[in-house]
């Protein structure tokens, strides 16, 4: 038996058949139940855990259809439109689903119907049932109004006016019903009868293309998974070819025998079709996650989904050689690095309109695109003097308090080593961007200094000397060549 805190009391949230036989009911106070039967075994409810379990089950149900939605805290909607022939028809499919849930130790009720509302009613009130198209009315007629997925107050209202079955609701005039109980009642009724379309919003985005493979014998080895990816990618290529597209984002779903689902996603800089390249990308990804990739007893279903596709321009190879191949190689290389080491592993600096040194260059993930034209040399006077190495976070530098209030320091201590400045250039004053940091932010005075060993540093002083205030601090921001 499971207890739950609700409305300041502890109530029974769920109970098994034996407890039901003792005359206990859901919603009953736990104290009352204990008074009746002191030997009850009570477990506290764990809504978060139940939610996780339901989501795991939803993941597992992905094997039947990509359109799986959660229904409340204890139900799942599966939109199996077009999927039933794969399982031999509607009834066999329902049997398969129930048998597989039973094998996992779940007591499941299921219904299959042309509308979501009718299937819901069949599952909750009738148990295992396939409702033929057009038979929704016969199914719903004898059922209580709760079968229409209505809120509690609406049901209570219907009960109080004597409408105790769906049949009676259907017979009643619609306008007064809508006025009294709100539009929801009629919408639910129409949805259940198929007069109004109802969209089941899936939990996960629905891929553009899916290929999958059921395996008679579960696979465990990573090499086998890679081979499987290539087989799936070969099947996917035919579909992509037909659409004239290539995949940009791919996901491999591996359904483990015990119900767990691993999803491995990759994205590419260029539209991709070649099975071998797809396999290579997944190989890098699998190599990277090898530590938390648990095959358990093996995978019995593998699915490759293409979530986003792009037109794939088939390039004609010239007789002289392949012009664009080198650039593609670079993009593929970047994809592989990213698949293995994470999205931030391969970056391309891009100059940005900002005079703050650390913001002047933005790092973007390299997408395989290089600026056209050769590496023209920019006239030097146009470029400011900037260090070749820049510290992401400027490091504090100790400058003795005896220093002159203006100008570069004579000596400074950085990383515990004392450096004496032989020559210095500056200051270059860089004001903060007031639209970002506010107008009160202190300015930086940058100095280029060279120490006695010839090392060149980029130092700055934050703010100015002012009477009655602590002296400004110094920071090391970069190293010059």
Partner 1 sequence: MASCAVARDAVFALRREIARIEGTLPQRLDTPGATDDAGDAARLRIGVAGFDRLLGGGLARAALTEIHGHETRECGSVSGFALALASLLLEQAKEPGPVLWVGMSEVFREAGFPHATGGQALSGIAPERLLIAEAARIADVLWVTEEAIPLQRLAAVVVEVRGNPDKLDLTATRRLHRRAQAAGRPVLLLRQAAQAQATAAPVRLVVSPAPSTPRHTFAGPLEASIGRPAFTVSVDKCPAALPGLFTLEWNPDECLFTERANPEIRAANPVAVVSLSGGRTDIAPAAGQVVAFSKKGASGAGGQPASRQHGADRGPRRTG
Question: Binding residues for partner 1, per CB under 8 A?
Answer: 325-327, 329-330, 333-334, 336-337, 340-341, 344-351, 357, 360-361, 363, 366, 370-371, 374-378, 380, 383-392, 414-419, 422-425, 448, 450, 452-457, 478-481
> In whole angstroms, how close is the CB of 263 to partner 1 at the nearest point?
24
Alpha-carbon distance of 90 to 102, in angstroms, equals 18
Asked if residues 166 and 147 have their Cβ atoms less than 8 Å apart, the reply is yes
Residue 255 vs 457, nearer CB to partner 1: 457
Beta strands in 155-260 (DSSP E): 209-219, 245-256
Residue 293 vs 333, nearer CB to partner 1: 333
**Do you know the residue count of the chain?**
481
Alpha-carbon distance of 115 to 124, in angstroms, equals 14
> In whole angstroms, how close is the CB of 101 to partner 1 at the nearest point?
43
Alpha-carbon distance of 408 to 424, in angstroms, equals 7
Residue 125 vs 391, nearer CB to partner 1: 391
In the 8-state DSSP scheme, what is residue 23?
T
> In whole angstroms, how close is the CB of 379 to partner 1 at the nearest point?
9
> In whole angstroms, how close is the CB of 254 to partner 1 at the nearest point?
25
Closest among 118, 109, 120 to 77, alpha carbons compared: 120
Residue 120 vs 366, nearer CB to partner 1: 366
Asked if residues 209 and 233 have their Cβ atoms less than 8 Å apart, the reply is no
How far from chain centre, in Å, is Cα 76?
20
Residue 210 vs 334, nearer CB to partner 1: 334
Alpha-carbon distance of 448 to 464, in angstroms, equals 18
Residue 191 vs 269, nearer CB to partner 1: 269
> In whole angstroms, how close is the CB of 364 to partner 1 at the nearest point?
9
> In whole angstroms, how close is the CB of 287 to partner 1 at the nearest point?
9
> In whole angstroms, how close is the CB of 267 to partner 1 at the nearest point?
17
Residue 73 vs 350, nearer CB to partner 1: 350
Residue 359 vs 465, nearer CB to partner 1: 359
Alpha-carbon distance of 259 to 60, in angstroms, equals 6
Asked if residues 282 and 236 have their Cβ atoms less than 8 Å apart, the reply is no
Alpha-carbon distance of 427 to 448, in angstroms, equals 8
> In whole angstroms, how close is the CB of 25 to partner 1 at the nearest point?
58
The pair phi, psi for residue 294, each rounded to 5°, is -110, 110
Asked if residues 208 and 311 have their Cβ atoms less than 8 Å apart, the reply is no
Asked if residues 339 and 351 have their Cβ atoms less than 8 Å apart, the reply is no
């Amino acid at each position: 038996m499971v207890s739950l805190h609700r409305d300041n009391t502890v109530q029974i949230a769920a109970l098994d058949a034996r407890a039901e036989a003792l005359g206990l009911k859901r919603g009953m106070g736990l104290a009352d139940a204990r008074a009746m039967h002191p030997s009850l075994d009570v477990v506290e409810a764990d809504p978060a855990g139940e939610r996780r379990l339901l989501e795991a089950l939803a993941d597992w149900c992905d094997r039947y259809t990509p359109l799986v939605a959660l229904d409340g805290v204890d139900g799942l909607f599966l939109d199996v439109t077009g999927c039933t022939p794969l399982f031999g028809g509607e009834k066999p499919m329902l049997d398969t689903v129930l048998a597989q849930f039973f094998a996992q130790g779940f007591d499941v009720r299921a219904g299959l119907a042309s509308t979501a509302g009718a299937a819901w009613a069949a599952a909750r009130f009738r148990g295992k049932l396939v409702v033929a198209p057009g038979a929704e009315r016969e199914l719903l007629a004898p059922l209580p109004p709760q079968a229409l997925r209505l809120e509690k107050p609406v049901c209570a209202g219907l009960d109080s006016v004597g409408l105790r079955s769906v049949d009676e609701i259907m017979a009643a005039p619609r306008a007064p019903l809508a006025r009294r109980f709100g539009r929801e009642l009629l919408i639910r009724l129409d949805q259940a009868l198929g007069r109004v379309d109802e969209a089941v919003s899936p939990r996960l985005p629905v891929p553009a293309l899916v290929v999958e493979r059921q395996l008679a014998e579960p696979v465990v080895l990573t090499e086998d998974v890679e081979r499987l990816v290539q087989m799936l990618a070969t099947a996917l290529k035919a579909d992509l070819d037909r659409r004239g597209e290539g995949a940009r984002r791919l996901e491999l779903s591996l359904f483990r025998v015990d119900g767990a689902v691993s999803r491995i996603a990759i994205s590419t800089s260029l539209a991709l079709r070649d099975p071998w390249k797809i396999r290579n990308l997944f190989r890098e990804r699998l190599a990277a996650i090898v530590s938390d990739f648990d095959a358990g007893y093996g995978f019995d279903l593998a699915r490759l989904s293409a979530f986003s596709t792009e037109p794939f321009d088939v390039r004609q190879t010239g007789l002289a050689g392949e012009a664009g191949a080198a650039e593609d190689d670079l993009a593929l290389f970047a994809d592989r690095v990213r698949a293995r080491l994470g999205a931030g592993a391969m970056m391309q600096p891009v100059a940005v309109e900002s005079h703050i040194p650390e913001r002047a260059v933005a790092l973007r993930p390299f997408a395989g695109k290089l600026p056209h034209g050769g590496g023209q040399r920019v006239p030097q006077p146009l470029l400011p003097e900037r260090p070749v190495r820049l510290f992401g976070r400027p490091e504090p530098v100790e400058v003795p308090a005896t220093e002159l209030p203006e100008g570069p320091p004579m000596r400074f201590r950085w990383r515990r080593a004392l450096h004496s400045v032989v020559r210095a250039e500056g200051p270059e004053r860089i004001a903060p961007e007031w639209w970002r940091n506010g107008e009160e932010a202190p300015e930086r005075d940058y100095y280029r200094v060279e120490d006695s060993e010839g090392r060149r540093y980029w130092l700055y002083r934050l703010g100015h000397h002012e009477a009655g205030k602590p002296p400004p601090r110094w920071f090391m921001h970069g190293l010059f060549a």
